[in-house]
Structure 1
């Protein structure tokens, strides 16, 4: 016989799974006396492309992306991409480049990759 799963333990299980960063959705289900954990995995990064950058070297941009976990093979985190966009805008503004527009795009590809 296994352990009983109450609301507190259920919340703890869900929280711990979310903390891994691998899942975008987690649902706990019960089938008679069996616990079923249904997860939706976050996509991994298949490829990163940078275009239109003239003032900051592409290698520097790629290093900055890697430093926050945005690199090929890693799990994609939209909030990390949003943070880097804001930081790039600040960098350009600090250099007096007020007309700069930073745009990012994410395209889904096969096998849960972006």
Structure 2
């Protein structure tokens, strides 16, 4: 995967992704298919004009289902049960460092 890409070039079966890191620019080569996330500097956004927005409102929208794209939505995970984690046990207070070390030794944390 390539993250925070500011430039992407595809050559054959590899993608060269340039990204900004603390020390400057880093270019990595990724075999395709790859996942690439982008930075704001990759593209300049195009803003729609008001006449184009009004034209788009009048165009019909095609209603598609996942089956139209060959996507199967049958659940593949079965939840057996959900339970809360056990309540955290109360801690204890010790009087001094020696008592703390003795308590840790008795619990077997240190030898």
- Per the shorter chain, which TM-score range? under 0.3
Structure with more helix by fraction: 1
Of structures 1 and 2, the larger Rg is shown by: 2
- Ranked by relative contact order (alpha carbons within 8 Å, sequence separation 6 or more), the top structure is 1
Question: What is the TM-score when the length of structure 2 is the normalising length?
Answer: 0.19
Question: What is the TM-score when the length of structure 1 is the normalising length?
Answer: 0.19
